[in-house]
Structure 1
């Protein structure tokens, strides 16, 4: 069994004491080729050496000692992607972000309004017309790019995470954690451009809710997509 290690730095937190779900999923998905389905078995710890173990050619696991943190497998998933809103409509929707105040995780790397300017992704999706479609603009910082000028894959996975939460939470302050993220990076996400990140609810089943998220260029070309599963912690 092949083994590697990685550490999730403090900067990339979701809840204050654990890794952002999308970032953590993206770090593990990078050990596979193509679309991947990542399941989080426990909150990924920050600043801790994690072991990456390849069970076979089609699976990879993340461990903290003997404890399974996350598992990933290649996948193919079908989903209907709504027409992305224009950048102008995405900017307008972002003014209606429901959690500029009283955010559940105010310092989340992806969506926390309590972080220093430009330290996180600053994705604040709000309803475009109603809660059936949310959107916000995104301009990745230069420190999030690789040597080729593309947004690093784990950062793209991060952007595919939290907007799905707001699609299922809507205006509610819902306590829910990411359980599973299916993601596909369809084209390189070039730096130096503003994109539209948009999300929509798919369905609810008991304590589980499902959402879709996609990233598009200004001309509407889809660059990445995901289907997320959220587990409600509220009674």
Structure 2
């Protein structure tokens, strides 16, 4: 999925399928705002997942000293903000001691059930997005105001509503304004549910 331009609130957009099996979100002029297409499984070296206790400790550390924007309420992010559990995913990632990765412990809320007892597929992507920024913040040079330029992922197992999950992420590479991160979601017992890579770009 490539994020090419801002999608404005209250402005009409169009969704269309593409001949290659992908899809695009465009504005009235035909400009592509978001593009998506099938890809081969990401060739990622996925590190071992932290334990539930390690992820829970990381989340507790985040909540004890949240980033300034979250603490003062100026940041209201669906993925990583401090919304009520039925209004956001609460992906509160912090470094895992002794590991070059960040992690969050969380439980998908029934408000986000797709009707079959699992997290809606669009929100499964959201669960990979926000955590992928955190290693760039903690271990790299990702700057405030950076945005997701692309997100590539594979969903291997549904994220079950009401069950404990761990999302964790790691830094892959950095070059100038570009920061590539890996991200994965697993069950509390370590079964891989989703894996992907994200490209974040600093503001000019």
TM-score (normalizing by structure 1): 0.77
CA shift digits 1:54-111 (9 cap, x unpaired): 2204221101212321111111121011111111110101133297141276101000
2:107, 2:162 within 8 Å by CA — same for their partners in 1?
yes
Question: More deviation in 153-162 or 131-140?
Answer: 131-140
Runs of 5+ unmatched residues, structure 2: none
Equivalent of residue 68 in structure 2, options 97, 102, 123: 102
Alignment of 1:69-218 (within 5 A): 69-76=33-40, 77-97=42-62, 100-103=66-69, 106-113=75-82, 115-130=83-98, 132-170=100-138, 174-218=144-188
Q: How far off its partner does 1:117 sit?
A: 5.0
Give the count of matched residue pairs.
196
Q: What is the SS of the residue equivalent to 1:225?
A: strand
Question: More deviation in 211-220 or 122-131?
Answer: 122-131
Runs of 5+ unmatched residues, structure 1: 1-37
CA shift digits 1:177-228 (9 cap, x unpaired): 0000001111122112010111111100111000011110011110011100
Match of 2:3 in 1: 40
Alignment of 1:6-17 (within 5 A): none
TM-score (normalizing by structure 2): 0.88
